[in-house]
Amino acid sequence: MKWGVVYPGQGSQHVGMGRFLFEEFSLVRELFEEASDTIKVNLKKLCFEGSEAELALTENAQPCLLLVSTAVYKTLESLTPFQPKGAAGHSIGEYAALVCSGAMRFSDAITAVRKRGEFMQNAVPLGKGGMVAVMGLTPEQVEEVCEWALKESKKDGVLEPANFNAPGQIVLSGSQSLIEWVLKHFKTDLLKTPSRRVKFIPLKVSAPFHCSLMKPAEENMRPLLESMKFQAPAYPIFQNVSAQGETNPSILKENLIRQISSSVRWVECIESLKEHGLTHVVECGSGQVLSGLIKKSVGDDIAVLNVNDLKELKKAEEQINVGSAIASERKKV
């Protein structure tokens, strides 16, 4: 077994996430306290007692997701001889990957993601940007749709691939007027190679993430992140921008800055984790969105464990311990 870690992004949050860890482990309670004190926000209340709508606000969701993902990882680390060989995080999840690998201080990351959420929310006026999931098209066909819409609609704006989540599952981001135009006018026979089944699913998001409309947010984040110290991680971090395993602190920082307005190349990240030799990963954080995406990308080549309750935590603990015991025996031989 060769273990890795993946960390989910925005959209995976839900009220109550992480409560089972908070109630059982003092180290998690201390993390909640540190994070709340750092940004002067009651994150325990947001995670456990707030409304779904309040938690979903970008400036709230991002620190809460980072906190819960870090809590899951630190708990596993305290219970097992967990030694991952690589990690990746989906969008905001990349901050958790950097924290848990030792590349970034937890307090710095909490500060950064709180500001990141604010900057991203304010980059585009509410209602002027949006995102839509496209099911059934290849990356090349999605690019074709974007080019067609920009040319034929005669509208000023932006429409770009934002998330390459899984084969046949890509998210577009950009101007709301262009997205609405595509939803109204798209027909499969407009493609050079028509697809039988194409489905567009508008996403309930407050801003057009991971496209060039986020450049103002990226520019605001640059001085903040550049003022923070990054160190070499304990293992490679497969970053959204490059889909390559990075260990150089300067590259890690620059890719984290560029990530805000760049596409999330998640399919390539997972393929790179596979090429790196990983056979098992733990999805450290809320939900199991990444488990499904990994299954669609590489099938059973990478097994995924989730940790959303004490039963799943126990299972992960047992499997990591078994894997560590096997590795120790092999070293002796």
**Catalytic amino acids?**
91, 210
Strand order in the sheet with 303-306: 245-246, 237-238, 87-89, 3-7, 280-283, 303-306
CB 116 within 8 A of CB 308: no
Strands 303-306 and 280-283: parallel
User: Would residue 21 be called left, alpha or beta, if left means φ above 0 and alpha means ψ between -120 and 50 degrees?
Assistant: alpha
Distance from C-alpha of 193 to C-alpha of 198, rounded to nearest angstrom: 12
Q: Say how many C-beta atoms besides its own lie within 10 A of residue 106's C-beta.
A: 20
Residue of 183, 59, 93 whose CA lies nearest to 131: 183
